[in-house]
Homo-oligomer: A and B are copies of this chain.
Amino acid sequence: MATTLKGQLLDRTTLDAMLRRRMFYTPSFEIYNGVSGLYDYGPPGCALQQGVIDVWRKHFVLEEDMLEVDCTVLTPYEVLKTSGHVDKFADSMCKDPKNGDIFRADHFIEEILELRLKADKQARGEKVVDQAADPKKKRKAKGPVGAFKLDDAVVQEYEAVLAKIDNYNTQELGELIQKYDLKNPVTGVQPLPPVDFNLMFSTSIGPSSNLPGFLRPETAQGQFLNFSKLLEFNQQQMPFASASIGRSYRNEISPRSGLLRVREFLMAEIEHFVDPDGGKKHPRFSQVKDIELVLLNKETQLSGKTDVKRVTIGQAVADGTVDNETLGYFLARIHLFLEKIGVDQTKIRFRQHMANEMAHYAADCWDAELLTSYGWIECVGCADRSAYDLSVHAKKTGASLIVRERRPEPIKVTEWEVDLDRKKFGPYFKKDGRAVEVALFATTQSQREELAKDLGLNGYIVIDVAGVDNGKVSVPRELLKIEQRTRTENVREYIPNVIEPSFGIGRILYALMEHCYWTRASDGGDEARGVLSFPPTVAPTKVIIVPLSNNDAFRPFCYELSQKLRKIGISNRIDDSSATIGKRYSRNDELGTPLGITIDFQTVQDKTVTLRDRDSTRQVRAGEDDIIAAIRSVVDGNKTWQDVESELPAFVGQETEVAVR
């Protein structure tokens, strides 16, 4: 069951109302009745997003010397055809034949099975929790539920299906709908068999509309297509990573779940290019090996369970749970990033994808999932895309997407080689020459060995050349040589593998808002008031400046402080509205502002101000410069509020909470 930061039961309706009231987010085009799956961020949401991106950039790009690129969203058809997205980037969709309702098939099955399990629980007299508590539950079951007991075996079967719901393909989902006779509760009718629906938005580029294109579904392809230039920029050194932060688009079938399932979203993706030979070691793995992660592997899920284990990443790589060091390194780095921005450590797990669940390009994949009131939500994917993408693009375009590396020791390569006597070969075959040549050079080593024998024995060879003569062409000895030779190779060529940590920033933001939320009891007996305890590094506004009243004497002090903070890059706002100090602080607790400065009559006398901590509501009082230094340390993450309290005198004179009454 989802809880607040302080362990209270999380009331999503209240939180959501607060997030909208404070304009963290808002449905896009709301005055036009909105469009499902599209949301805007208001000022605090936008600033929180920026704070998270700043941390991400420092934690990954700057810290690890990644090559950040910024590629276009518009992508021509050909690129996404090659990458497999045109054919395979789809969800299963089914339609109610009676009222035309459209469902995502897996979500439909989940919803109906969960409704039945809920009815069963009621029949068994168990308490039914209305908030999504089941780890695999994606959204709340809806509609009224009558008690209806199921056989124990059926309950088990349903639960096993739900545990591996992500592993069914479209046909299998259709079979489940038939097998369990799942009906749309609204019409009482079974939907039509599911079909694949491609999730990409399409458009056409150029005035003559002759270049079909899509909005990219991921930022990755732009990075792959630039691989050779990036390798060159990195002065040919491997391994290296590129990174990109930008919007991607998925035309979700039936988006609900608020910010968690949207059609336009910000991604931050890393493509780490690594030599596939040598076990994909990572040079800094030792720095993270003792970090403990909570893992849910694919075997556990396939057996219908969701038990996790907590192990160090060193252990998980050693025992093969996580395939290799580089993958393990990034899982640990992802964990550290999530910790840094304020995600609740008890609400993170890494779940391995099951075989059918994986994207078409992935060889292995782990998701960082965060626990929210909607259940466990995939917020970061970490996939091993192997050499898939570079290979298909190289094959399609003829571009050389490879690494050429000088070998420490040259190696000897012994191979059968074909040499043509071109002076005779051309005139002999005339217009067919090219086709025969291509066929000869396309032969494998073992074929060449055979051909060399034939040549020695017969004085000619016969090879298959489609479209020439009867498809069999005879080549006499004087036109070619086939010999086994040994040469020295100084350079090794390989296609790198790619490890891809991919962050859904919007989902992370939503989970973060739930994880940082709690409610504070009010002295005055009013409703409990919401607080968002974001870490100062990511908080939308760092400091709120509140004059005690709208007395003109306070104004210059507010303005001067605000300017000084701005000069050192610390975002702040002055709230000189007529509300009580308590109300103004309450508003900023809801906005997640970690620090507050009060300007009062003593300020006018001695230039001291009070500094208030959002979480404890405790205050210190000191001169402007000391307060600014303390703010800077807290915002930079170098000091905690406890440090500040131990260094500056406490202030208890004018208690904020008292002022609320």
Task: Identify the A interface with B (CB < 8 A).
Answer: 22-23, 26, 28-32, 35-36, 38-43, 45-47, 49-50, 57-58, 62-63, 65, 67-76, 78-79, 93, 102, 197, 201-208, 211, 213, 215, 222, 225-226, 229-230, 232-233, 235, 247, 249, 251, 253-254, 263-264, 393, 397, 399, 401, 566, 569, 571, 573, 575, 577
Contacts and interface: CB of A to CB of B under 8 A. Distances in A.
Given A207-B102, A207-B197, A233-B42, A225 B30 contact: yes
B207 A254 contact: yes
Contacts of A249: 74
B235 A577 contact: yes
A130 to B, nearest CB: 29
Nearest to A39: B72
Given A42-B226, A67-B43, A254-B207, A76 B393 contact: no
The 10 tightest CB contacts between A and B, nearest first, are A31-B399, A41-B70, A40-B71, A43-B67, A31-B397, A46-B70, A38-B72, A203-B203, A46-B68, A201-B203
A601 to B, nearest CB: 24
Contacts of A577: 235
User: Copies of this chain, how many?
Assistant: 2
A73 B206 contact: no
A489 to B, nearest CB: 22
Contacts of A45: 70
Contacts of A401: 31
Nearest to A579: B235
B235 A28 contact: no
A31 B70 contact: no
A211 B252 CA distance: 13
Given A225-B32, A251-B207, A264 B62 contact: no
Contact of A42 (B32, B63, B69, B75): B69
B28 A71 contact: yes
Contact of A263 (B42, B68, B70, B205): B205
26 contacts: A23-B230, A30-B225, A31-B225, A31-B399, A32-B78, A35-B205, A36-B206, A40-B70, A40-B72, A40-B226, A41-B69, A43-B68, A46-B70, A49-B70, A50-B57, A58-B566, A58-B569, A62-B569, A73-B73, A74-B249, A102-B208, A201-B203, A205-B263, A207-B251, A207-B254, A247-B247
A50 B569 CA distance: 16
Given A23-B232, A102-B207, 19 more contacts: A23-B230, A28-B72, A29-B75, A30-B225, A35-B74, A35-B211, A40-B70, A40-B71, A41-B69, A43-B233, A45-B70, A49-B70, A50-B68, A73-B247, A74-B201, A74-B249, A203-B203, A203-B215, A235-B575
Contact of A206 (B67, B226, B232, B251): B251
A561 to B, nearest CB: 14
Of the candidates A30, A70, A93, the one having the most CB atoms from chain B within 10 angstroms of its own CB is A70
A401 B370 CA distance: 39
B28 A222 contact: yes
